[in-house]
Amino acid sequence: MVILGAGPAGLVLGNLLQTSGIDCVVLERATRAEVQARSRAGFLAPNTVRILDRHGLAEGLHRHGREHATCEFRTEDGRFRLDYAALGRGERHTVYPQHALVTDLLTRYLDTGGQVRFGTEALTVRDADSTRPTVTARDADGRTGSWRGRYVAGCDGRHGAARRSLPPGAVRRHHLDHGVSWLGLLAEAPPSLDAVGYAVHPRGFAGHMARTPEITRYYLQCERGTSPDAWSEDRIWDELSLRMRAADYGPLHRGPVVHRAVIDLESDVLEPLRHGSLLLAGDAASLLSPSAAKGANLAVLEAEILALALIDDLGHGDPTGLDRYSARCLEHIWRAQEFSRWMVRLLHGAPGPDGESMFQDSLRRSRLASLGSSRSCQDWFAEHYVGV
């Protein structure tokens, strides 16, 4: 079994296969240090924690993760808080940075004898329509080699070799550009509020998400095409303070911005998630906008479904799970996509000169008013916000 990519999807899959005695190798383009330093997600859904618990992979997150169950919306009409653990199914998030989870998964996989080839970039997957698919890969010294297995799992993200190797027409790609960009920031500063903060402002969206007691993630809506370095740190903090209405609700804890990236909010779904012996999971299968924090959670869920199906097939000669893999995952993916899209519409809609954007903005305002006042709307939100 050849797994492309040592992110959450590839490493959950690798751990489950390894524990079941299925021989596998993970090919990873980056170095181990790079993989363990990549800061991204932080909000783990209860189902993700249950999956990791089931397979003995949750020790670190139970030790260092923190439970989280409140979000606060700040708008031109005031602010309101939702304690989502008291709504919907009564569930909460665990805040645990993705790089810490990836480090735990990698350590466990290597400690139990798993093989990872770091610095090895998969170039193509050939013969995916046969039972001996082959991956051509280049190592850090520029040497090219081949890796063959019964199956190849494409867990190498949206720009990886798995997607590139799909023959034209084999898989459909459904794509949606939400038309919005965010400047994603990591600040070396403690969280400024004890809630996820969503601020809707005439100058654009601003978001606040705790990561650790020392690190906080912020988002600022920006013009499409903005360079990540275009904003000075002073401008970033001034804009965050303005949009989050710090003058009314309390100042933000400022600190050095240690990472920044511009994210164009886009979504896509590949259908089906399988071409012969090549199976897709995580961002390689479907990209979600970060508006609802679902990507890493879906990656873990899909990896578990795929691992159990592969164990049935390779260990017991039962292909039923693999035959159903794509349909089962797509059901979860489309629900997550729907909620992410709803969140994009909840948080954006700048008023403009034309009637269309005024209309959109009024819908956005009305959506927020329903969320702030209707218990059934809040229950629906809570269920989808923590669910995958």
Minimum Å gap between C-beta 247 and ligand RFL is 27
CB of 242 or CB of 263, closer to ligand RFL = 263
Size of the chain, expressed as the number of residues it contains? 388
Write the CB contacts of 107 (distance below 8 Å, at least 6 apart in sequence). none
CB of 116 or CB of 252, closer to ligand RFL = 116
Minimum Å gap between C-beta 35 and ligand RFL is 5
Minimum Å gap between C-beta 300 and ligand RFL is 8
Strand partners, 195: none
CB of 184 or CB of 197, closer to ligand RFL = 184
The span from the CA of 128 to the CA of 275, in Å, is 7
CB of 269 or CB of 299, closer to ligand RFL = 299
223: nearest Cα among 247, 245, 239, 246: 239
Minimum Å gap between C-beta 124 and ligand RFL is 9
Minimum Å gap between C-beta 230 and ligand RFL is 18
Q: Which of the residues 198, 218, 219, 325 is marked catalytic?
A: 198
CB of 295 or CB of 376, closer to ligand RFL = 295
Active site residue 109: no
Q: Which of the residues 93, 208, 275, 294 is marked catalytic?
A: 294
The span from the CA of 108 to the CA of 100, in Å, is 12
CA distances from 236 to 96, 199, 344 (A): 25, 15, 22
Q: At 330, list the tokens.
A: 């797509």
Minimum Å gap between C-beta 30 and ligand RFL is 4
The span from the CA of 33 to the CA of 192, in Å, is 30
CA distances from 138 to 50, 135, 283, 357 (A): 37, 10, 22, 49
Are 111 and 105 a contacting pair, CB within 8 Å?
Answer: no
Q: Which of the residues 84, 96, 325, 385 is marked catalytic?
A: 385
CB of 185 or CB of 368, closer to ligand RFL = 185
Are 325 and 73 a contacting pair, CB within 8 Å?
Answer: no
Minimum Å gap between C-beta 331 and ligand RFL is 18
The span from the CA of 27 to the CA of 112, in Å, is 17
3-state secondary structure of 186: strand
Parallel, antiparallel, or unpaired: how do β-strands 78-83 and 257-271 relate? unpaired
Q: Which of the residues 97, 109, 290, 384 is marked catalytic?
A: 290
Q: Before 8, cis peptide (omega within 30)?
A: no
Q: What one-character DSSP code corresponds to residue 167? A: P
Active site residue 385: yes
Q: Which of the residues 8, 46, 68, 191 is marked catalytic?
A: 68
Provide the binding-site residues for ligand RFL, judged by CB under 6 A: 4-10, 27-30, 35, 40-43, 98, 121-122, 155-157, 160-161, 184, 263, 282-283, 290, 293-297, 299
Active site residue 68: yes
Active site residue 290: yes
Helical (H) or strand (E) element with 152: strand 152-154
Residue carrying structure tokens 């993970």: 26
CB of 293 or CB of 311, closer to ligand RFL = 293
CB of 22 or CB of 284, closer to ligand RFL = 284
Strand partners, 94: 44, 67
216: nearest Cα among 195, 238, 187: 187
Residue carrying structure tokens 């038309």: 179
Minimum Å gap between C-beta 347 and ligand RFL is 15
Residues with a known catalytic role: 68, 198, 290, 294, 385
